[in-house]
Every structure is written in C-alpha cells, then in structure tokens.
Amino acid sequence: MSIDLQFDRQHLWHPYTSMASPLPVYPVRSADGCTLILDDGRELIDGTSSWWAAIHGYNHPELNAAVTQQLQQMSHVMFGGITHAPAVELGKLLLELVPANLRHIFYADSGSIAVEVALKMALQYQLAIGNLQKSRVLSLRKAYHGDTFATMALCDPVDGMHAMFQAQLTSHLFAPAPTRAFDDDWQNSDGDALREMFAQHHQQLAAFVIEPVLQGAGGMRLYHPQYLRLARQLCDQYQVLLICDEIATGFGRTGKLFAVDHAGIQPDIMCLGKALSGGYITLAATLCSVTVADGISSGAVGALMHGPTYMANPLACAVACASLKIIQTKAWQTQVTQIEQQLKQLKLLAQYPAVKAVRVLGAVGIVEMKGNIDVAKAQALMVAQGVWIRPFGKLFYLMPPYTIQAAELDQLIAALQFIVQQDVLHQAQALPGA
C-alpha cells in the first residue's frame, strides 16, 4: 500500500516543523539492519539510529521474537496492583548493569517522563526528610532534557529550543556549560563556576540534573569527566541529589556502558530511555538509590506520586529484556570501538571553510557548521547519496546502530564529507529541534 503524502502534508504534524510550510518527508516502507527502505524502493543507510534508539539495527530476529512471543500472552496490563514477568525480568537485568547504588526502578513511557519522575523523586525526597527549603533544581546552560513542561524548564533558557516558553516555566538555576573538552587537561579553575553556584544556592537546591559527558540536543557538546566528579563531590557536600540523564548516552553510546562510567561516579537518580528497548517500543526508566527510595517512602505521603497508564508495558519490557541480553554479551564494546575508529575520519572535515568543529566519542560523530543548516536542502542531497542523516541547527551528527558494517559507515562518512562542501547553510534562523 502506497503512502498518501498529500494527506501527510495536510494533516500530520511532524516534530519541530511547521504545518504552513512543513519540511519534506520521505516515506519509509520497511527497515532492515541499518537500512531504511523507501516506498519507491530506494535504500538509505541510517546514520541516526532513529534518534539514537535502534542500537541493534532494525528487524532484529531476537528482538522480533521477543515481541511476537509476548504478544501471544498479553500486550498490556495496568501496573497498579499487578505485575508481570517481563517487568520483573527487565528489572533484574537492569540492576546487573547500572551503578551498584541504584536499587529501585520506576518504569516510565518516554524519556521526558523519566526526567519528570526524577524531578518528582528529588523534590518529594527533600520534602519527606524535612528539607522544605530545598525546592529548586540546578541545571546547565546548553542542556536539553525533554519537551514536556517540567523538562523544558531544565533546558537552556536563552539558547535552547524552548526559550519562548520561559514565562510559563518553573524558574530553576543554571550553571555555565562545561568548557573543558573531553580529552583536554583538566584545570582546577574549570570547576569554579559550578563551585560558586553550589556555595551561593545550596540551601534551596533539591537536585542537580546533568547529561553526563555529552550534552545532546542542546548542542552535541562533549566535556571533561572531571566535571562529573566535581558535581558528585559538591552534591555530597551540600546534600543535593545528583540526577544523571543517560537517555541519549546509556547502553554504550559513548564507549562506556553508561556515560557516568567515564568519571567512575554513581548518581542518586538515573534516567534511561531511547536504546532501552532497542528502539522498538517507547520505554523509559528512572532508577534511584535506596536512600532516595527510603526517604520518599518514610515521608507523610509515603508513596511516589506518579503512575503512567502504560508504565511497564509488557511488550516494551519484553523487547527491552532481549535488547539488554544482547548488551550483556558485550559485543557492543568491540562494535563501538570500531565505529569510533572510523568516525575519527570525520576530523578531516575540519579543513573545510564551512565547518567550525568536529567531535568524536564512542559511536558519536559530530560536525558543527559555522551557520544554520538548510535542513530540507541538506536532507535531499543526503537522500540522493543513499544515506539518512538528520541535521539540526548548526549540527550534523552520526550515531549509527552498533551493528553497522564498515562499508556502510564509510558511505555515511563520505556522504557527510560531500555535504559539508555544498552550499547547505542559510541566513535565516533555523528551527533548533533535533
């Protein structure tokens, strides 16, 4: 059955686009491995893992089998007063992988909701233990934590994609974005701004929320792991909970199983999503320490006041179990190392006049341009090259499935090299969405 693109254009609102003049869309008929097959039969090598989620590629036999088998049992039941085997099994698998202090799991149905739950945990914890004045949250400039109202309030209030909503958002505190690059030598002064924020505001801080090592949709910025170690130290010193948003970085993307592992720290609360289900079905999780869970549970309310209808969806949990079992084989370590070595070829692109910077870590390759990218023009050129790369703002990036073959990744890199030499920048302000 062909896809009615006219109906799509007239009625379907795609992310970060206009209904008056929507960006072009490309109809996908099927997907297999690292390839998207368009309705007209053209094949595109996927360089984005469907927004960083499909780490094992598409149409994976083990993930397919997990969904099919679970579908014969039940597709969904409420999690209130009921439990089921996929949720329990997934919990066991997660606790074998995450930092050892994280012992309690709250299932959510999207990354944004996982961060919302983390905020609610932190605020309810501080209330429960009597820290009534600790009601604000510290975030970072250049941060991105989601599109719902509570998470928009944590995104960069000036340069972020949600700046227009500032008057309607909860007012939080923002530290300057980390400036020391991942591989540079750390200077003690690099943490002065963060130390000052804690010294001035710790009495009102419930939590510090941070994307470890890689700031994602706020600018694809890599920073030094020592910044995370300092954050952990300051949170301990001032009785502030450390929330690590690993939705984009979790499950091997940066070369470590979790990005916090680059710094050897353990957060009080961790948010997971995207790759958790292998990119099959939306699923997220918010994990916390025993201290946090006990604090909330001993408070006047006694219960964490949250409960999404589709939390712990059995189909999503079942496919997540299959995904994590693949992660447990540790094949991702070799795959991500090989991807990183190939992505380092992108550094040659820094020689082109339109390129501002190139950054690589694990299975992440970032090419920052000197101006905003004309998304429609760039995407059309890339489709003509047989690849799918989704730019945003001034950024091109590659975050391919771990299963990508060397020849496929070479084609993505070559296509990106071709694109940055073309006239794909414009003067108008681009929509910042990913």
* From 134, 256, 274, 394, the catalytic residue: 274
| CA gap 114, 106 in Å, rounded | 8
* From 144, 227, 397, 402, the catalytic residue: 144
Does 16 participate in catalysis according to the annotation? yes
Residue type, position 202, single letter: H
* From 190, 245, 268, 374, the catalytic residue: 245
Tell me the three-class secondary structure of the chain, residue by residue.
Answer: CCCCHHHHHHHCCCCCCCCCCCCCCCCEEEEEECEEEECCCCEEEECCHHHHCCCCCECCHHHHHHHHHHHCCCCCCCCCCCCCHHHHHHHHHHHHHCCCCEEEEEEECCHHHHHHHHHHHHHHHHHHCCCCCCCEEEEECCCCCCCCHHHHCCCCCCCCCCHHHHHHCCCCEEECCCCCCCCCCCCHHHHHHHHHHHHHHHHHEEEEEECCCEECCCCCEECCHHHHHHHHHHHHHHCCEEEEECCCCCCCCCCCCCHHHHCCCCCCEEEECHHHHCCCCCCEEEEEEHHHHHHHHCCCCCCCCCCCCCCCCHHHHHHHHHHHHHHHCCHHHHHHHHHHHHHHHHHHHHHCCCEEEEEEECCEEEEEECCEECHHHHHHHHHHCCEECCCECCEEEECCCCCCCHHHHHHHHHHHHHHHCCCCEECCCCCCCC
Does 144 participate in catalysis according to the annotation? yes
10 Å Cβ neighbour count for 195?
16
Please give the C-alpha separations between residue 108 and each of 112, 113, 146, 197, 316, in angstroms, as whole numbers.
Answer: 9, 6, 14, 31, 11
**Residue 333's Cα: distance from chain center in Å?**
19
Active site residue ranges: 16, 144, 245, 274
